[in-house]
C-alpha cells in the first residue's frame, strides 16, 4: 500500500452527508420573515403544492413531511387495509433500514421478495396471487418499489408499468419510494417527461418524493398521483408524527429545489460523479465492480486489508463485510476533484 | 363597534406561527458547510448533547427529533410496558391534539383525568391505584404532565415533585411534555435552578424539551433524566420516524438557542407580552379574563359578534365556541407595539 | 348483624360464573363425532350462519369467535379507518374492562363520553361534529353502544335509532356490543321483532352477539347487519386471534341456544330473577337501590360493614368502593330459591 | 386410474379436523356443574397450573388461552421490547399462517430465515449479530422455533439447546411454538424426560403448549419456563383477547389430557399412523416421499392428475401446487384401517 494522497474535501459516505444547496438555504432563510399560520396554511406551502401539480398533473395531492421513513410510513398507512401486507424487495429501505417503523405504525406484515438489484418483477407478484382470499394469510394489498433502488439500479418506465398493471389486476395499490427519485429522473432522461414516464404514466399511486438526498437540509413530500387514496392523508400525516408546524421552512426549500429543475440538474451531476468514480477505478486491479452505475453509487469489492485504512482516510460505508464489498456514494456537491483524489487514493492503497 | 385601527404586524394565533430567531437561523446557515456524517455522528450534535448535560446533569441522555408530537410519542414508546396505559389531563396535547398518534404508535390506552387548568393532582393518581394488578384494566404505567399546560398554567416545583413521588410509589414513570418548557422556566425564576427545580430535582424521568415554540425553525429534544430508561431510545427514535438524517441542522439551532440562555430570555419576553396583553385588556367591559396569565397565552371570553371581525383583522384561534372563549397567544417576537395595537383593536371592537 | 341463613347454591357474582345450559352442552357433545374440516367449513357452522340470517335478515353475515373482547375488537377492527377514533360511553366494556385491547389491536383512540347509566345520547355525538375535518384530532369514525349497558340499563329501539341516525349523518359506523343482547331482547318484548327493533331496524351496522353470558360454555358471534362492512372480516378474525379451528364446537352450541328461542327464554328468566332480587330487598332499610332493574343486575348501596361478610357468605363484586356500592347479578340458572335465600341473608346482615 | 375403494372414515386434512378425545369431552361435561368464578379463579384451573408445574418444574407459570395463534401472539407480546424483531424460520406458522396477527398485535417485524425443514440453525442467528446496536435495524429480540416444525420435522434436544445458547448470548429470548409439542415429545422418547430435554433443560423461555391438535375440543397453554418473563402475562392475555371467562371449560379438558400421559399416548398413535401411511405408500411408483416422517405428516409429490380426484374421495390439502406436492396428516383418532384404506386408494389412483 502506497502512501495516500491528500483526501478529498467531501466523503463518499452518503448523499445525506451533504449539506443543502445554497439556493435552498437561501430560500429557507428568506422564509423566516414574520408570522405565518402553522401546519401548511401559508403561501410557501401553497406554492409547493402547485409546483407538484406542475410535475405530476392537476390532481396530484401533495403532503410535506419531515423525512424519508416518515414519508414511507405515512404513504403506506393510507394504503393498507386491515389484514393487508406490504410487498417489496428484500433490499427495500422499508424492510431493512427503518427499524420496523412500518410494522409498528401499520401493524402490517412486510413481505419481502428476493432480488439481486433491488428491483422486483411482475412475476413475483403473480406468485402471490394464491394468497388472495385465504383467511390464514395476510392479503397482498400494497406493493412498494424503490426508484432508484437501494442497490443503485433504475427501473425502466416499462418495468414500472408492468408492475403497476399486475398489482392493479390483483387489486393492490402501488407505492414508489423515491428517496432518490431525482437520480432516477436524471438517469432516465432528465426532464419532466422522464419523471412522468415511470410515475403517473406508469400507474404509480403514491410517491415518496425525496428532498433531503436531492439537496435540501430536510424535507420530503408524499404525492398522491391517485388522489382518491389521499382521503385520510391529512389526518394520517399528523398521526404518524410527520406534520411540520412551521411548514413554510420545508415548503420554501422545495420551492427552491423545484425551480428551474434544480433537483434534476443536481442529480445529473451526482450521477455523473458516480460514473466518473466508476470509470476512474474500474481499471484498478483488486477493485471489482458489478458494472457501471445507473445513478450515484457503486458497490465495489476491495481487498480486505485496504478497506479500513481507506475509510479512515476518506469515509465510506461497508456494504457486505463477508464479501469485502463496500459502498461509495456521490452527492449533489461532489466535485470532479473529489472523485479524482478519491480514485487516486484507492489506486495507491490497492497497489 | 368602532372602526378598527391598523392591525399589529404579527398575529396572536400561536407561538408556532412565529419564525426562528435570527441567531438560530444564522447557526443553521453556518452548519451548512461541507459533509457531515448523518444521523447525529457530527460535532454539532455532540455539542447539543453536552449542552443538555449542562442543563440537566451529567447523566442526561438527549435525542434530537423533529417535532413535538414525535418527541412525545418517542418518549412514551420507551416508557410503556405491555398492557400499560398513559395517564394525563383531559386537556393534554397527547390526548387531544395529536390525532391519536400515541395510541397508534404505542397501542396503549391514554387515560385522561379531569382538570380545569391542564394540571393533574397526585390524588387523582391515587384513585387509580385500585387498577393495579387487575388483569381487566390497562395498568397505570406512565403519567404525562404538560409544563406549562395547554391552558397556560404552570406547575410549581413542589406540585411536580408530589406527582413524581406518587407516581413512583405506584411504579409509574413520569414524562413531562415541555413543548413550552421555556415559558415555564421563565415563569418560575428564569434560571438553571428554576429549570432543574421542576424537572430533575422533582423526579421527572423524561422531558420533551420544546424548541419550535421557543424560537427554532423546527426541532425538539427528548431528554432522559433517568438514563436507565433510554436503553431503547436510539432504536425507538428511528422506529417512530423521528431520526433526522442531516441532524446537524437541528443541533446547530439548539446550540444557538441554548447559548447564553437565549431560550429563557425569549420566553421571558413572550410571557411579558402575554401579561401586557392581559393588563391592556382586563379593564375592557365585555372582555372576561380567567385571571392574569402564568405564561404567554390568555383565554378571554368575548362578545360573540366581535370574534370573527377581530379574527379577520388579526388572526387568533377560537377556544370554546360554545362559551365565546378564544385564545390569544404571544410569541418570542411579539412586540409591545403589537400588543398595544391589538388591545386597541379589541377595545374598539367591543365598545 | 343476625346470623346468616344457609347460602344460595349459586353466587351472584356474574352471569359468566354460570355454566352452560344442558341443551347447549348436549349439542357440544354431539358435535364430537368424527372429522370435520376446520375453520368453519363444517355443517354446524353453516347452520349457525343460517340461523343468524333468520334472526337478522338474509344479508346478515356472521363470524363465530371465542369471547366478548375478541368479538368487539374484531368488529371494531373492520370498522375503523386510519386516524379514526371509536366513541363510546365512559362505562363501556371496550373502554374500561378490556385492558386496552382495542387500542392495541386497532391503534386507535377510544373516546369516552360521560354517562350515568351506560347509555350515550345523540346530542353527545353532535358535540363531536366540530372534530370532523380537523387534522389535529382523531376523527369520529365508529360509535359503540352496549345493549344492555354495563350498568344494567336498556336502550329503547327509538334511542338506538336516533343514535344511528346521528352517527350515519356524521359518516360514522355503529357497533352494538351485545354481550347481553339476550337480556335486552327479553326486556324489550322477548321476540324476534324486539331484537330487530333495536338492531337491524334501528340502523345498527355490526353486532357483537353474546353467547357466553346467555348460556354457552363459550362463544360469541360478530354479525354484520351491513354486509358491505364485512369485506375484510374473514381475514381480520384470524388476525385478532379469534378464528376457532374446531369451529363446530362453537357453532353447535349456538345452534342449541338459538333453537326455539332458548336464548330469550333464559334471559327472561335471568331478568325476572334480577327483578325478584330487587323486590325482595328494596324494603330493607340500609339497602339503597337506584330503581327497579331493566335486566339481570342491581347495583345497591349497602352499609359498609356488611359487604365483606356477605361476600364471604355468597360472593358478589364490589362496584364503587368509595360509595359502598356493589353489584348483584343473576344468571340463566339462578333459581327463585337462590334469590330468596340471598335476600334473606342480606336482610339478616343489614339488620 | 383404477376405481377407488370405499374411503376411510376420517380425512387426512389436518389434526385439527379431528374432534376431542372422549375422556376430554367427558371432563368438559363434568365441569359444567353450578357456578364457578370466571377468569381462572376456579379449582379446575388451579389443577391445570399444578399439572404444568409437574411437567416443567415448580416455577413454571401457566396461562390458558383459546387458540394457537393467540398463544403465540400472547407469548411474543410479553417477550418483545420496543424496536425488537422476532426471528423465525420462513415456514413458521407465526410468519406464514397467522394473517399478520403478530405484526398487528406486536407492531414488530417478523424476520424470517431460510429453511428446508422448518428448523433454524444457531449459525443463522449468529449472522444477525451485526444488527445489534445499529439504530436503523430492528433488534433481534426473540427467536421463535416450532417443535415439531410446520414441515413435520423434530429438533433434537441438542439442537434446541444450541439455539438457546446462541440466542441468550445475543440477549434474545426463546419461544417455542408447541402446537404439536405432543408429537415432538412422542417422537423424542415419549416421557417427561423427553419433554423436558428440549424445553426447560434446553433453555427455552416460553412454550405455546398445544392442546387442540393433541385431542382437545379447543384450548392451548402459554407456559413460562422462565417465570421472570411472565410479569405482564396476566394483563397481556386479556389484552390480546385470550382470556376465557368460563375458564374451567379449558382447564377441565387439559386436566383430562394431561392425566396418565394421555397427550403422549395419543401423539404416539398419531405419529405411528403417519409412519404407517409412509410405509404403505412409499413403494407406490409415482408417489415421491422426502423420507420417513418424524411425526404425523408426510408431504409426498403425486402425479398432478390424481390429486384432485383423491381429494374428492378423501380430503387433504395441497402443499406446493407448483410441484404437485401435497400434505397428508394423521390425527389422534386416525385408525390403522383409515390408513390402509387411504393407501389403497392412492395406489389405485396412481396406477
DSSP string, A132-189: TT-TTS-EEEEEEEESS-TTS----HHHHHHHHHHHHHTT-EEEEEETTHHHHHHHTT
- The Cα of B141 is separated from the nearest Cα of chain D by a number of Å equal to 12
Among A343, A327, A340, smallest CA distance to A16 is for A327
Please judge whether B99 and C138 are an interchain contact, meaning their C-beta atoms are less than 8 angstroms apart. yes
DSSP string, A192-216: HHHHHHTTTTTT--EEEEE-GGGT-
Chain C residues with CB inside 8 Å of A229's CB?
Answer: none
- The Cα of B234 is separated from the nearest Cα of chain D by a number of Å equal to 6
Of C10, C20, C245, which has the smallest distance from its Cβ to D212's Cβ? C245
Strands (E), chain D: 61-65, 84-89, 109-113, 139-146, 173-178, 206-210, 220-224, 297-298, 317-320, 325-329
Task: Quick: pLDDT tens for D236-260.
Answer: 999 999 999 999 999 999 999 999 9
Spell out a b/e string for B14-51, using b for 16 or more CB atoms within 10 Å of the CB, else e: bbbbbbbbebbbebbbebbeebbbbbbebebbebbbeb
Please judge whether A38 and B16 are an interchain contact, meaning their C-beta atoms are less than 8 angstroms apart. yes
Chain A residues with CB inside 8 Å of C136's CB?
Answer: 39, 238
Contact A257, A50 (CB under 8 A): no
Residue D140 — φ and ψ, nearest 5°?
-65, 110
Sign of CA dihedral D132, D138, D142, D145: negative
Q: Is the pLDDT of residue A10 over 90?
A: no
**Band of the pLDDT at A143, cuts 50, 70, 90?**
very high
Instruction: Considering only residues A335 and A10, tell me which one the structure prediction assigns the higher pLDDT.
Output: A335
Please judge whether B19 and A35 are an interchain contact, meaning their C-beta atoms are less than 8 angstroms apart. yes
Whole-number Å distance between alpha carbons of A173 and A196: 18
Residue C3: the pLDDT is 87
Residue D194: the pLDDT is 98
Task: Quick: pLDDT tens for A92-121.
Answer: 999 999 999 999 999 999 999 999 999 999
Among B212, B209, B233, B237, smallest CA distance to B223 is for B209
Residue whose entry in the numeric block shows the C-alpha cell 404508535: B105
Please judge whether A241 and B217 are an interchain contact, meaning their C-beta atoms are less than 8 angstroms apart. no
- The Cα of B42 is separated from the nearest Cα of chain A by a number of Å equal to 10
Tell me the sheet residues that pair with C113.
C89
For residue B258, how far is the Cα from the chain centroid?
16
Interface membership of B14 toward A (CB under 8 Å): yes
* Residue D312 grid coordinates: 374428492
Q: Chains near B, with 3+ CB pairs < 8 A?
A: A, C, D
Using CA atoms in the order B176, B178, B183, B187, what is the torsion angle rounded to 10 degrees? 10
Interface membership of B136 toward D (CB under 8 Å): yes
Please judge whether A77 and C82 are an interchain contact, meaning their C-beta atoms are less than 8 angstroms apart. yes
CA angle B139, B143, B144 (to 5 degrees): 140
Interface membership of B33 toward C (CB under 8 Å): no
Whole-number Å distance between alpha carbons of B10 and B179: 21
Please judge whether A244 and B67 are an interchain contact, meaning their C-beta atoms are less than 8 angstroms apart. yes
- The Cα of D184 is separated from the nearest Cα of chain B by a number of Å equal to 31
Residue D10: the pLDDT is 86
Contact D99, A136 (CB under 8 A): yes
Helix (H) or strand (E) holding B110: strand B109-113
Q: What value does the mean pLDDT take over residues A277-294? A: 95
Q: What value does the mean pLDDT take over residues D66-72? A: 98
* Residue D321 grid coordinates: 401446487
Interface membership of B33 toward A (CB under 8 Å): yes
Please judge whether A241 and B105 are an interchain contact, meaning their C-beta atoms are less than 8 angstroms apart. yes
Residue of D nearest to C104 (CA): D105
Surface of C (268-287) touching A: CB under 8 A: none
Task: Quick: pLDDT tens for B297-331.
Answer: 999 999 999 999 999 999 999 999 889 999 999 99
* Residue B103 grid coordinates: 395510541
Surface of C (37-66) touching A: CB under 8 A: 39
Residue of B nearest to D74 (CA): B82
Among A283, A290, A318, A284, smallest CA distance to A304 is for A318
DSSP string, D52-103: HHHHH-TT-EEEEES-HHHHHHHHHHHHPPTTEEEEEETT-HHHHSSTTHHH
Q: What value does the mean pLDDT take over residues A193-216? A: 98
Cα C233 to Cα B82, C53, C211, C227: the distances in Å are 26, 17, 19, 10
For residue B205, how far is the Cα from the chain centroid?
16
Chain D residues with CB inside 8 Å of B135's CB?
Answer: 39, 234-235, 237-238, 243
D298: left (phi over 0), alpha (psi -120 to 50) or beta: beta
Q: Is the pLDDT of residue C248 over 90?
A: yes
Please judge whether D107 and A104 are an interchain contact, meaning their C-beta atoms are less than 8 angstroms apart. yes
Average of per-residue pLDDT values in chain D: 97
Axis-axis angle for helices B262-281, B336-350 (nearest 10): 20
Residue A290: the pLDDT is 86
Sign of CA dihedral C27, C32, C36, C40: positive
Please judge whether A82 and C136 are an interchain contact, meaning their C-beta atoms are less than 8 angstroms apart. no
Residue length, chain D?
351
- The Cα of C250 is separated from the nearest Cα of chain A by a number of Å equal to 18
Helix, strand, or coil (residue C65): strand
Please judge whether B99 and C136 are an interchain contact, meaning their C-beta atoms are less than 8 angstroms apart. yes
Chain B residues with CB inside 8 Å of C69's CB?
Answer: none
* Residue D237 grid coordinates: 392475555
Residue D238: the pLDDT is 98
Whole-number Å distance between alpha carbons of D80 and D65: 19
Residue length, chain B?
351
Whole-number Å distance between alpha carbons of C271 and C297: 8
- The Cα of B8 is separated from the nearest Cα of chain D by a number of Å equal to 47
Please judge whether B237 and D138 are an interchain contact, meaning their C-beta atoms are less than 8 angstroms apart. no
Whole-number Å distance between alpha carbons of A49 and A70: 19
Count the neighbouring beta carbons within 10 Å of the beta carbon of residue D191.
13
Q: DSSP H helical segments within C140-224, as ranges?
A: 157-169, 181-187, 192-197
Task: Quick: pLDDT tens for B160-170.
Answer: 999 999 999 99
Residue length, chain A?
351
Q: Going by DSSP bridges, is the β-strand pair B173-178/B206-210 parallel, antiparallel, or unpaired?
A: parallel
Residue A304 — φ and ψ, nearest 5°?
-55, -40
Helix, strand, or coil (residue D38): coil
Whole-number Å distance between alpha carbons of C276 and C339: 7
Please judge whether B242 and A241 are an interchain contact, meaning their C-beta atoms are less than 8 angstroms apart. yes
Please judge whether C236 and A83 are an interchain contact, meaning their C-beta atoms are less than 8 angstroms apart. yes
Whole-number Å distance between alpha carbons of B67 and D323: 53
C contact test, residue of B82, B92, B109 with most C CBs within 10 A: B109
Residues 6+ apart with CB under 8 A from D154: D147, D148, D183, D184, D187, D188, D294, D295
Cα D161 to Cα A119, C10, C103, D174, D197: the distances in Å are 39, 50, 37, 10, 9
Among C69, C82, A138, C208, smallest CA distance to D240 is for C69
Task: Quick: pLDDT tens for B7-39.
Answer: 998 889 999 999 999 999 999 999 999 999 999
Residue whose entry in the numeric block shows the C-alpha cell 444547496: A21
Residue A17 — φ and ψ, nearest 5°?
-90, -10
Helix, strand, or coil (residue B114): coil
Whole-number Å distance between alpha carbons of D179 and D213: 7
Task: Quick: pLDDT tens for C269-297.
Answer: 999 999 999 999 999 999 999 899 999 99
Cα end-to-end span (Å), chain B: 6
Chain B residues with CB inside 8 Å of C108's CB?
Answer: 100, 103-104
Please judge whether D239 and B77 are an interchain contact, meaning their C-beta atoms are less than 8 angstroms apart. no
Contact C286, C303 (CB under 8 A): yes
CB pairs under 8 A between A and B: 155
Task: Quick: pLDDT tens for B264-299.
Answer: 999 999 999 999 999 999 999 999 998 999 999 999
Please judge whether C99 and B321 are an interchain contact, meaning their C-beta atoms are less than 8 angstroms apart. no
Please judge whether A108 and D110 are an interchain contact, meaning their C-beta atoms are less than 8 angstroms apart. no
**Band of the pLDDT at A351, cuts 50, 70, 90?**
confident
Percent over 70 (pLDDT), chain C: 100
- CA neighbours within 13 Å on the CB side: how many for B31? 27
Chain C residues with CB inside 8 Å of D17's CB?
Answer: 35-38
Q: Is A171 exposed, middle or buried (0-12, 13-18, 19+ CB in 10 A)?
A: exposed
Helix, strand, or coil (residue C6): coil
Residue C237: the pLDDT is 98
Q: Chains near C, with 3+ CB pairs < 8 A?
A: A, B, D
Whole-number Å distance between alpha carbons of D118 and D136: 28
Q: Is the pLDDT of residue A17 over 80?
A: yes
Residue C163: the pLDDT is 98
Among C60, C75, C56, smallest CA distance to C146 is for C75
CB pairs under 8 A between A and C: 49
Please judge whether C321 and B130 are an interchain contact, meaning their C-beta atoms are less than 8 angstroms apart. yes
Contact C159, C119 (CB under 8 A): yes
Chain A residues with CB inside 8 Å of B99's CB?
Answer: 235, 238-239
- The Cα of B55 is separated from the nearest Cα of chain A by a number of Å equal to 26
Residue whose entry in the numeric block shows the C-alpha cell 481499471: A283
Average of per-residue pLDDT values in chain B: 97
Q: Is the pLDDT of residue B82 over 80?
A: yes
Q: Is the pLDDT of residue B120 over 90?
A: yes
Percent over 90 (pLDDT), chain C: 96
A contact test, residue of C239, C241, C243 with most A CBs within 10 A: C239
- The Cα of B141 is separated from the nearest Cα of chain A by a number of Å equal to 20
Amino acid at each position: 500500500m502506497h502512501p495516500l494522497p491528500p483526501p478529498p474535501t467531501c466523503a463518499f459516505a452518503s448523499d445525506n452527508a451533504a449539506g443543502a444547496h445554497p439556493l435552498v438555504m437561501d430560500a429557507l432563510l428568506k422564509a423566516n420573515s414574520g408570522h405565518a399560520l402553522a401546519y401548511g396554511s401559508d403561501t410557501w406551502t401553497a406554492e409547493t403544492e402547485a409546483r407538484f401539480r406542475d410535475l405530476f398533473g392537476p390532481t396530484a395531492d401533495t403532503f410535506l413531511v419531515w423525512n424519508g421513513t416518515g414519508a414511507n410510513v405515512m404513504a403506506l398507512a393510507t394504503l393498507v387495509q386491515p389484514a393487508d401486507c406490504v410487498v417489496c424487495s428484500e433490499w427495500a429501505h422499508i424492510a431493512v433500514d427503518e427499524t420496523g417503523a412500518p410494522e409498528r405504525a401499520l401493524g402490517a406484515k412486510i413481505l419481502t421478495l428476493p432480488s439481486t438489484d433491488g428491483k422486483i418483477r411482475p412475476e413475483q407478484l403473480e406468485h402471490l396471487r394464491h394468497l388472495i382470499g385465504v383467511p390464514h394469510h395476510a392479503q397482498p394489498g400494497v406493493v412498494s418499489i424503490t426508484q432508484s433502488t437501494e442497490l443503485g439500479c433504475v427501473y425502466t418506465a416499462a418495468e414500472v408499468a408492468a408492475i403497476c398493471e399486475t398489482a392493479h389486476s390483483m387489486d393492490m395499490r402501488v407505492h414508489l419510494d423515491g428517496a432518490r427519485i431525482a437520480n432516477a429522473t436524471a438517469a432516465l432522461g432528465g426532464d419532466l417527461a422522464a419523471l412522468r414516464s415511470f410515475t403517473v404514466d406508469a400507474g404509480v399511486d403514491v410517491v415518496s418524493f425525496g428532498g433531503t438526498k436531492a439537496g435540501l437540509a430536510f424535507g420530503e413530500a408524499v404525492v398522491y398521483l391517485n388522489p382518491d387514496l389521499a382521503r385520510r392523508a391529512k389526518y394520517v400525516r399528523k398521526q404518524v408524527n410527520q406534520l411540520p408546524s412551521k411548514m413554510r421552512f420545508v415548503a420554501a426549500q422545495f420551492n427552491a429545489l423545484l425551480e428551474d429543475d434544480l433537483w434534476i440538474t443536481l442529480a445529473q451531476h451526482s450521477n455523473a460523479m458516480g460514473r466518473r468514480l466508476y470509470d476512474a477505478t474500474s481499471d484498478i486491479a483488486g477493485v471489482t465492480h458489478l458494472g457501471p452505475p445507473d445513478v450515484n453509487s457503486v458497490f465495489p469489492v476491495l481487498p480486505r486489508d485496504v478497506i479500513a485504512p481507506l475509510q479512515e482516510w476518506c469515509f465510506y460505508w461497508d456494504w457486505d463485510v463477508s464479501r469485502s464489498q463496500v459502498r461509495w456514494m456521490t452527492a449533489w456537491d461532489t466535485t470532479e476533484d473529489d472523485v479524482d483524489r478519491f480514485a487516486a487514493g484507492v489506486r495507491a492503497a490497492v497497489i
